[in-house]
Each structure stands twice: as structure tokens, then as C-alpha cells.
């Protein structure tokens, strides 16, 4: 199985909560593609492109390790088409993941019961204000 990485900040997906989310997301996309597209290479080009996009968005999440589930998130980082794609995949694959990755899926479901933390402050915006105020 070939490794798919985000285009930026891949090191953020190497441990902790973001790694668990990345593993679950990749399993969902791979299973969905296998059942719908049955590409001999493993992932079809569309699913591969979507997975790279989704992992990149996950790696760039401003919440970091405190990231809420996407359903509870106050920041919507997916473009409209990709948001619809992930909605379809999650709706179909979510129940199946309970059997393939029971611990990760249960953790995700519990996390979905919690409210999202406040939006993280944009530290760069504050620096720009200070720089412009000179």
C-alpha cells in the first residue's frame, strides 16, 4: 500500500489526535474507493487527489491536537465540492468503520458529542496590526 501524505506539514499527522484522524480518514477513503471504483492500483486518481486534499486540510488545522470533529467545527476549511465528497464518504463508510477500526471510530463518536473549542486566535493577524500601527 503506497503512502499518501499532505502537501504541507506532514509531520503534524505523525502522532496524537491528528494521526488518529488521518488513519481513520484514509481507511474510509480507501474502503469507499475499493467498493465504488475498484481501481487495480488501489486508489483511483479522484480518490487519491481527494485524500491528499483532505490530509492537507487536516495537517493545517488551526486547532491542532484540540481539533473537534468536522461536524462540530466552527471553521469550515473544505471547498464546497470536497465538503460534499467527504459527507458522502463519511455517511456511507462511518458505520463500516466501527468494524474495521472500532477504537478510532468510538473515539471519534465520543469526540463528536463534545462542543468545539473557541476558534483559535490568528497570531499572525495580531502581528500585522502591530506592524501597521507604527
* Any domain includes 104: yes
* Any domain includes 80: yes
> Could you report the per-residue pLDDT of 106-116, keeping only the tens digit for each?
888 888 888 87
Give exposure, 76-106, as e/b (b: 16+ Cβ within 10 Å): eebeeeeeebbeebbeebeeebeeebeebbe
Q: Is pLDDT above 50 for 2?
A: yes
Range of the domain at 63: 10-132
> Could you report the per-residue pLDDT of 40-63, keeping only the tens digit for each?
878 999 999 999 999 999 999 888
* Any domain includes 67: yes
Global pTM reads: 0.81
Total number of domains in the chain:
1
Amino acid at each position: 500500500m503506497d503512502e499518501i501524505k499532505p502537501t504541507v506539514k506532514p509531520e503534524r499527522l505523525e502522532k496524537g489526535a491528528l494521526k488518529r484522524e488521518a488513519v481513520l480518514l484514509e481507511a474510509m477513503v480507501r474502503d469507499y474507493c475499493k467498493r465504488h471504483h475498484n481501481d487495480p492500483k488501489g486508489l483511483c486518481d479522484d480518490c487519491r487527489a481527494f485524500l491528499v486534499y483532505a490530509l492537507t486540510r487536516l495537517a493545517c488545522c488551526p486547532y491542532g491536537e484540540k481539533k473537534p470533529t468536522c461536524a462540530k467545527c466552527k471553521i469550515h476549511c473544505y471547498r464546497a465540492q470536497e465538503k460534499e465528497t467527504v459527507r458522502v464518504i463519511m455517511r456511507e463508510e462511518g458505520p463500516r468503520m466501527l468494524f474495521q477500526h472500532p477504537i478510532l471510530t468510538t473515539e471519534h463518536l465520543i469526540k463528536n458529542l463534545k462542543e468545539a473549542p473557541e476558534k483559535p486566535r490568528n497570531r499572525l493577524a495580531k502581528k500585522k496590526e502591530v506592524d501597521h500601527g507604527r
